[in-house]
Amino acid sequence: MPSLVKKDLGNFEFRGFHPNILIGTASDRYAGWIGKIYTEGRYAKGITQRTHKVGDKTFIEKVLPVESVQEYFEHFPVLEIDYTFYRLLLDEKGKPTQNYHVLRSYRDYMTEKDSVILKVPQVIIARRLRKGGAFVENEAYLNPRIFTEQFYKPTVEILGSTLGGFIFEQEYHPKKDRLEADQLTKGLDIFFREIPRDTRYHIELRTEAYLTTPVFEVLEKYGVGLVFSHWTWLPPLRKQFEKTGGQFFNSGKESIIRLITPMRMSYEESYAKAFPFDKMVDGMLNPKMIDDTIYLLLEGIKCKEKMIIIINNRAGGNAPMIARLIAEKFLTT
């Protein structure tokens, strides 16, 4: 690779890194990225603070204004937007929610060359939701009408050609709450049959027991990609790929790798270790995660897949620095 590429990596510039690889992060606007992704002093007057309770601890997060996404896209070609996981874009009466307005604000600062991947609201894909301190059955689980009318259609309307994909992230199901394989596949089959056909669907199943042939057959049937996720209770990335028989299911020839948390480390612990996300944390990042990511990239490229890597701060402390480690390792492989 030309030396210019390596020099650009030093400045966290990942656009044009490889024709078949897109590198991005899970969310943006972190004040901890100032000096790496965001220019010192540029957003000083627009930074806000919010409290975020994680387990029994409370953290004060500093958040950059929405306009900073413009500078984000000077470095990365793709962004995963996480806040859509918590609320639909339209309420039951068809009225825009706060998330609708925030997403439209993001679009105002994007160019046609920028791309976002949205997490589908949990009310669509979660079997249980937390309410009043307890988990209750989700009556809207896999409801095709709610997904189509209250999320899919307004998303397409707002984002147009900048919409890169949808991630359906299903929560982990402990053994006592686990579905039988035929129940899960039947539900997914009906859901994906009834929603608009689209080549940009991807699903993250956080229960290893669901990574089975019957489920993969449904994904292949509808062209839904399996997200390869480095997450607390999932097996290593390479093992997930082996379970598929070395297949990629997305009909748009795109595959997503999400680097979320170290294995066997909870959300609460990984957040507390990584906060305020301004540096790498000693001993937090697993070198095997990097190696497996490179392996999947190479396998995808062999299959003419476009490979999308989404990196969370909690995977090692600072997402841009993890991205640079992966890019540098790929260049020397």
For residue 276, is the peptide bond before it cis, meaning its omega torsion is within 30 degrees of 0?
Answer: yes
User: pTM of the prediction?
Assistant: 0.96
Cα gap 126→173, rounded to integer Å:
10
Domain residue spans in the chain? Answer: 3-331
pLDDT at 5: 60
Mean pLDDT within 304-328: 98
Mean pLDDT within 304-322: 98
**pLDDT tens across 224-282, in order?**
999 999 999 999 999 999 999 999 999 999 999 999 999 999 999 999 999 999 999 99
Cα angle for residues 64, 68, 72 (degrees, 5° grid): 120
CATH number for domain 3-331, candidates 3.20.20.410, 3.40.1190.10, 3.30.470.20, 3.50.50.60: 3.20.20.410
pLDDT at 1: 46
**Tokens matching residue 232:** 């607390």
Compute how many other C-beta atoms are within 10 angstroms of the C-beta atom of residue 288: 14
Beta bridge partners of 218: none
Mean pLDDT within 192-210: 98
Q: Which residues contact 149 (CB under 8 A, 6 or more apart)?
A: 90, 94
**pLDDT tens across 158-182, in order?**
999 999 999 999 999 999 989 988 8
Give the least confident one: 129-143, 199-213, 226-240. 129-143
pLDDT category, 2, cuts 50, 70, 90? very low
Label residue 55 left, alpha or beta by phi (over 0 means left) and psi (-120 to 50 means alpha): left
Label residue 266 left, alpha or beta by phi (over 0 means left) and psi (-120 to 50 means alpha): beta
Provide the mean pLDDT of the chain: 95
Nearest C-alpha neighbor of 149 from the set 121, 126, 130 = 121
Percent of the chain with pLDDT over 70: 98
